[in-house]
Chains A and B, each alone.
Chain A
Amino acid sequence: MVKLPIYMDNHATTPVDPRVLEAMLPYFNGRFGNAASRNHSFGWEAEEAVDKARTSIAAIIGAKPKEIIFTSGATESDNLAIKGVVEFYKEKGNHVITCVTEHKAVLDSCRALERQGRATVTYLPVDRYGMVDPDDVRRAITDRTVLITIMWANNEIGTIHPVAEIGRIAREKGILFHCDAVQAIGKVPVDAEAAGIDLMSLTAHKIYGPKGVGALYVRSKAPRARLSPIIDGGGHERGMRSGTLNVPGIVGFGAACETAAHEMAEEAQRMTDLRSRLHAGICERLDDVHLNGHPTQRLPGNLNLSFAYVEGESLLMGINDVAVSSGSACTSATLEPSYVIRALGVSDELAHSSIRFGLGRFNTAEEVDYVTERVVKEVRRLREMSPLYEMAKEGIDLKSFQWKAQ
């Protein structure tokens, strides 16, 4: 028997790997020093641990240790990269290029800059698989462009953007390229150098590390990326991010990177196999199931499906011993479905019907089979209850039907 509930929402967060936790524990009490204390062994011990972690984190993205700036998480990293670059280069220009399916930490940072009159922002569209066209990036560039910010892989639909091509364009035009690689590191090979990335947001809790610790990679040369800090204080992290370092968290982040790097190839294959098993198992038994995101250029553990005629939140309610998430924003105050899925150009109804399965390190084939069973059973039950399913079966075209909406 599988142990319930099953956690299959690993894009939201992941549990701390026991190996990571073990590495962290000594730094809560025994080795509790402040990494900035330069004149006693407590401080040296903490600093040494931070340096070791910095090296492991840098290694997973092909960077140098000194290019890693610790933050409280990827939201802060995104804010620092975008607001920090725009502020620093304000004499040079004020135009930012991003895309409509970026994480809210990127989109809301851009909107804040627009609101304050500090930047103009171009929001590029995506194709039906959620991918940005590098030619669109090229065309959007103006002589005022100071930053391109495009994520490595999308958190909802798993689509992997052509980052290396975008990086080449940015380099050619002499524009800094920031990439939110939160969902990609430890899952697929990421190389900041090869992809021409100048700033990269990272976080620990998506790779079986602790919450509350992240990093921003800031390229040190060829070209050197500069930014103005958004948090002032003791001048930690080369003046780019002040504040006492979260030593246990950083140690955990480092350990998480080491484990992920070590197991990545094998783990990516295992995730891809589990995902195929889940996808095939569901599609064998249900019709009208649509894949959201790219068929091949996607994160190994991501499966995002729309179950036509069934509203996502009601499906989540029916499979309540399985933790997944839905693009139906029925619980949100706005009642808008996922902006990411809508950006693919699918109907709003399919956006309301989407479910994101986020497979992770601790999921098993047995769990996948259980989830398949639960989903199939519940979708069938809800379709029997769905007026849309009934209408579709009667041959009524749902798109041309005159709905009496409120």
Chain B
Amino acid sequence: MAYSSKVLDHYNNPRNVGSFAKDEPNVGTGVVGAPECGDVMKLQLKISEEGVIEDARFKTFGCGSAIASSSYVTELMKGKRIEEALRIKNTSIVQELNLPPVKIHCSVLAEDAIKAAINDWKSRRGAEVEQPGRAEHAS
């Protein structure tokens, strides 16, 4: 299978790889997927008191498209308000990275990771938690 140039670029030069300390109050951590499925994404967002995403980090176990999806998402997150971030659909990741149909699940996982990370941040602040992974996935 040939990879799109954008997937290759993210795979070869992944943006924002790494970790924040999980216990920092302004950090939300989302870990989605499972090793037996061949994909695990960890997305961390540093979010200000005002609900603006200031920084993002990821680590991903998965194929090139999964790595590219999470790398792209970290770029996408920075500077967004959490409400905007929660509105991001997997389809925009599919479009940006030209993912083929068999790789759509990678984009779904990345969308789930955003929601999980933001929910984690909210729960740390005692705010109302939205259920992760319940959004309608357009694929």
A residues at B contact (CB < 8 Å): 309-311, 313-314, 317-318, 328, 330-333, 335, 337, 347-349, 352, 384-390, 398, 403-406
Q: Chain B 95-111, CB within 8 Å of chain A: the 1/0 string? A: 00000001001001100
15 further contact pairs, Cβ within 8 A, besides A313-B64, A405-B33? A313-B63, A317-B8, A330-B38, A330-B63, A331-B1, A335-B105, A348-B38, A349-B36, A386-B60, A387-B60, A388-B61, A390-B42, A404-B34, A406-B109, A406-B133
Q: A331-B102, A385-B17 are in contact. Are A309 and B32 (CB under 8 A)?
A: no
Distance A314 CA – B14 CA, assembled complex (angstroms): 13
CA of A101 to CA of B38 in the docked complex: distance in angstroms?
21
B61 and A405 within 8 A (CB): no
A311 close to B61 (CB less than 8 A): yes
Could you tell me which residues of chain B, from 35 to 73, have a CB within 8 Å of some CB in chain A? 35-42, 59-64, 66-67
Which B residues are in CB contact (< 8 Å) with A330?
38, 62-63
Closest Cβ of chain B to A332, distance in Å, is 7
With CB as the reference atom, state the residue of chain A lying closest to B100: A331
- Are A390 and B116 in contact, with the CB atoms below 8 A? no
User: Which residues of B line the A interface, CB within 8 A?
Assistant: 1, 3, 8, 11, 14, 17, 19, 31-42, 59-64, 66-67, 102, 105, 108-109, 112, 116, 132-133
Partner of B38, one of A309, A311, A398: A311
Q: Could you tell me the distance between the alpha carbons of A317 and B9 in the complex, rounded to whole angstroms?
A: 12
Distance in angstroms between the alpha carbons of A169 and B67 in the assembled complex: 51
Known: A387-B40, A406-B109. A352 touches B35 (CB 8 A): yes
Contact A406 B38 (CB under 8 A): no
A328 and B102 contact, CB distance less than 8 A:
no
Minimal beta-carbon separation of B126 from chain A (angstroms) = 21
Contact A390 B38 (CB under 8 A): no
Shortest CB distance A337–B (Å): 7
B59's partner among A317, A385, A403 (CB-CB below 8 A) is A385
For chain A, what secondary structure do more than half of its interface residues adopt (helix, strand, loop), or is it mixed? loop
> What residue of chain A has the Cβ atom nearest to residue B8's Cβ?
A317
Given contacts A314-B11, A385-B59, A390-B19, contact A406 B105 (CB under 8 A): yes
Chain B residue numbers with a CB within 8 Å of A337 are: 38
B31 CB contacts on chain A under 8 angstroms: 387, 403-404
B60 and A335 contacting across the interface, CB-CB below 8 Å: no
Distance from A233 Cβ to chain B, minimum over Cβ atoms (Å):
38
A318 to B66, CA, bound (A): 14
* 4 A-B pairs with least C-beta separation: A348-B36, A403-B34, A349-B35, A405-B34
Asked whether, in the complex, the Cβ of A403 is within 8 Å of the Cβ of B35, the reply is yes
How many Å lie between the Cα of A244 and that of B51 in the bound state? 74
A207 CB to closest chain B CB, in angstroms? 28
**B1–A385 contact, CB under 8 A?**
no
The smallest C-beta distance from B116 to any residue of chain A, in angstroms, reads 7
Q: Assuming A328-B63, A388-B40, A404-B32, is B11 touching A317 (CB within 8 A)?
A: yes
- Chain B residues contacting A335 (CB-CB under 8 Å) are 37-38, 102, 105
Residue among A310, A384, A386, A405 with the highest chain B CB neighbour number at 10 A: A405
Q: What separation, in Å, do the CA atoms of A328 and B102 have in the docked complex?
A: 14
A390 to B38, CA, bound (A): 16
With A311-B38, A388-B40 as contacts: A406 and B132 at CB distance below 8 Å: no
Q: How far is the CB of A3 from chain B (nearest CB, A)?
A: 23
* Chain B neighbourhood of A318, CB < 8 A: 11
Q: Are B108 and A347 in contact (CB under 8 A)?
A: no
**Contact A314/B36 with A384-B17, A406-B112 known, Cβ cut-off 8 Å:** no
B63 touches A314 (CB 8 A): yes
Please state if B105 and A314 are interface contacts (CB–CB under 8 Å). Answer: no
10 A-B pairs with C-beta separation under 8 A: A314-B64, A314-B66, A317-B64, A331-B102, A386-B60, A386-B61, A387-B60, A390-B59, A403-B33, A406-B108
